[in-house]
C-alpha cells in the first residue's frame, strides 16, 4: 500500500440532521461520480429524500455516535475492496464539489487528508485541540475537528480506537501520526457553515468530559517508552553522534524547536513541575525525556527547572506536605527530624511538590507566554 495514488475510494456520508437538509448532499456527491454510502445513525426516520437516489444506505442503531459510523463504513468498504474512504457530514457544512481536492492532495499514499474549515478555524476550541494534538504526536494542524477527511481503510480497520463521539476525529489524527501516516491539510475554498438546526450540540458536558479524558489517555500513551505500531516505516533521522561533530548547529536546533509561545510556556511548566519533584539525581534526564515525548523545547524545560534550586522550592514543598499530613507546618529542625526522619521528609516533599510544582509552573508558564508574545509582537519589532 505504498504507492503514490489513492486506491478505489468510497464516499461516506454521515447523517446527523433532517432529511430536508441531507437530501442535497447525497445528490451533490452522486454528481461527482463517486460511489457513495449514506450512514444513518437514526437521525432520519423518513427515507423519502433518498428513495430516488442511487445510493446505498447503512442504518445504525439510533444514537450511534460518529466514530461508530465511520468504523462501520470502513469495515463495509474493506469488504467491498475499497482502499480509502472520504467522510463528509450530511449537514451541509461541506460541499461535495470539494471532494477532488482531498484526493488530489494525497501526493503520497497512505495518508490522512483533512479539509480545513475556513470559518471559525481560529476559534479557541480548535486552537486548544490543535495544541494538545501537537503535544501528543508532534503535528501542527489548523483544524483537528473537521469531519471532511480522506482515510486509508487499512488504518481504520487495523487500529483500536477508544473514542466514538467528539474525540474520534482527534484520536484518528494522533494514532495516524503514530502509525507514520502523513497528516495533510487543505484549505477549502468554500465556507463551512452547517445548516441551522442540524448536527448535535458539541457543548454538552459529557462530550467535553469524554474529550478531556481522551487527551489524558493520549498524553499518557505518548509518554510511555515502547514504540507505536507503524504502517509507514520511520524515516532515518540525524545520527546522535552528530552532536559531537556539529555541537553549535545541534544547540541552535534545540533552541529553535517547538518555539511558539504556547509550546515554550508548556516546556517551562514541565521543567518546573518535574524539577520540584524529589528526584534530584534524575531531574534533568526526566525533564528532557518528558519534553521530548511531548514535542516541547528541551532547553527551555531544563532552564526553567533552575527555579526549583535547592533549598527554596524543596523546603516549601516539605512544608506544604507536612501541613497536609499534620495540619501544621514543620518547625522542629534537629538531628531527629532532619536525619532519622528523612523518609518522612521525602514523602512530604513529594506530597508538597504535587501542589507547589503545578502552581509555580503555571506562574512560570504564564510569564513565559506573555513575555514571548511581547518580544515577538509586530509593534515591538518595528
How far is 257 from 297, CA to CA, in rounded Å?
6
pLDDT tens-digit map of 119-144 = 444 445 557 888 889 889 988 888 88
- Predicted local confidence at residue 52, as pLDDT: 64
- Could you tell me which residues come within 8 angstroms of residue 267 by beta carbon, excluding any fewer than 6 positions away? 258, 291, 296, 297, 298, 300, 301, 304
Model pTM score:
0.75
Find the mean pLDDT for residues 80-95. 85
- Predicted local confidence at residue 293, as pLDDT: 85
- Could you tell me which residues come within 8 angstroms of residue 236 by beta carbon, excluding any fewer than 6 positions away? none
pLDDT top residue among 343 and 200 = 343
Task: State the burial class of residue 200 (Cβ atoms within 10 Å of its Cβ: 0-12, 13-18, 19+).
Answer: middle
Check if the beta carbon of residue 326 is closer than 8 Å to that of residue 287.
Answer: no
How far is 376 from 332, CA to CA, in rounded Å?
49
Question: How wide is the angle at C-alpha 57 spanned by C-alphas 197 and 79, nearest 5°?
Answer: 130
- Predicted local confidence at residue 241, as pLDDT: 46
The DSSP secondary-structure symbol of 338 reads I
- Predicted local confidence at residue 360, as pLDDT: 95
Q: CATH 3.90.550.10 residue ranges in the chain?
A: 9-223
Strand locations in 35-181 (E): 36-40, 56-59, 84-89, 112-116, 149-152
Unique residue bearing C-alpha cell 517508552: 225
Cell of 254: 534545540
pLDDT > 50? residue 202 = no
How far is 346 from 229, CA to CA, in rounded Å?
39
pLDDT tens-digit map of 11-29 = 998 886 544 445 566 666 6
Specify the fold of 9-223.
Spore Coat Polysaccharide Biosynthesis Protein SpsA; Chain A (3.90.550)
Unique residue bearing C-alpha cell 509550546: 263
pLDDT tens-digit map of 235-274 = 654 444 444 455 555 455 555 566 788 888 999 999 999 9
**Could you count the other beta carbons within 10 Å of the beta carbon of residue 190?**
14
Strands 112-116 and 149-152 turn out to be antiparallel
- Predicted local confidence at residue 232, as pLDDT: 83
pLDDT > 50? residue 197 = no
Confidence bin at 201 (pLDDT 50/70/90): very low
Cell of 165: 463521539
Average pLDDT, the chain: 81
Check if the beta carbon of residue 316 is closer than 8 Å to that of residue 275.
Answer: no
Please choose, from the candidates 306, 314, 263, the residue with its C-alpha nearest in 3D space to the C-alpha of residue 284: 306
Amino acid at each position: 500500500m505504498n504507492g503514490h495514488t489513492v486506491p478505489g475510494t468510497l464516499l461516506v456520508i454521515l447523517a446527523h440532521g433532517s432529511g430536508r437538509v441531507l437530501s442535497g448532499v447525497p445528490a451533490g456527491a452522486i454528481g461527482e461520480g463517486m460511489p457513495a454510502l449514506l450512514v444513518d445513525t437514526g437521525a432520519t426516520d423518513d427515507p423519502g429524500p433518498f428513495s430516488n437516489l442511487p445510493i446505498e444506505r447503512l442504518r445504525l442503531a439510533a444514537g450511534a455516535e460518529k466514530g461508530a459510523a465511520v468504523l462501520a463504513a470502513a469495515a463495509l468498504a474493506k469488504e467491498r475492496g475499497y482502499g480509502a474512504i472520504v467522510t463528509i457530514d450530511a449537514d451541509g457544512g461541506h460541499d461535495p464539489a470539494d471532494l477532488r481536492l482531498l484526493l488530489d492532495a494525497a501526493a503520497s499514499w497512505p495518508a490522512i487528508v483533512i479539509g480545513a474549515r475556513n470559518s471559525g478555524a481560529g476559534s479557541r476550541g480548535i486552537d486548544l485541540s490543535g495544541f494538545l494534538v501537537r503535544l501528543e504526536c508532534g503535528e501542527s494542524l489548523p483544524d483537528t475537528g473537521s469531519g471532511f477527511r480522506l482515510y486509508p481503510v487499512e488504518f481504520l480497520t487495523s487500529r483500536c480506537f477508544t473514542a466514538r463521539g467528539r474525540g474520534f476525529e482527534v484520536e484518528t489524527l494522533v494514532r495516524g501520526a503514530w502509525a507514520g501516516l502523513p497528516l495533510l491539510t487543505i484549505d477549502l475554498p468554500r465556507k463551512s457553515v452547517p445548516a441551522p438546526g442540524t448536527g448535535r450540540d458539541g457543548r454538552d458536558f459529557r462530550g467535553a468530559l469524554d474529550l478531556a479524558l481522551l487527551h489524558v489517555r493520549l498524553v499518557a500513551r505518548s509518554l510511555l517508552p515502547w514504540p507505536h505500531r507503524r504502517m509507514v516505516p520511520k524515516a532515518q533521522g540525524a545520527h546522535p553522534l552528530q552532536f559531537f561533530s556539529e555541537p553549535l548547529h545541534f544547540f541552535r536546533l534545540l533552541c529553535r524547536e517547538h518555539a511558539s509561545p504556547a509550546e515554550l510556556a508548556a516546556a517551562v511548566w514541565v521543567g518546573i513541575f518535574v524539577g520540584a519533584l524529589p528526584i534530584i539525581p534524575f531531574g534533568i534526564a526526566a525533564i528532557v525525556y518528558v519534553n521530548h515525548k511531548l514535542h516541547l523545547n528541551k532547553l527551555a524545560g531544563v532552564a526553567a527547572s533552575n527555579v526549583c534550586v535547592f533549598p527554596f522550592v524543596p523546603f516549601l514543598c516539605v512544608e506544604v506536605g507536612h501541613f497536609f499530613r499534620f495540619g501544621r507546618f514543620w518547625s522542629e529542625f534537629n538531628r531527629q527530624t532532619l536525619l532519622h526522619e528523612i523518609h518522612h521528609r521525602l514523602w512530604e516533599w513529594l506530597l508538597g511538590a504535587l501542589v507547589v510544582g503545578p502552581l509555580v509552573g503555571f506562574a512560570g508558564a504564564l510569564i513565559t507566554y506573555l513575555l514571548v508574545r511581547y518580544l515577538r509582537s509586530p509593534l515591538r519589532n518595528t
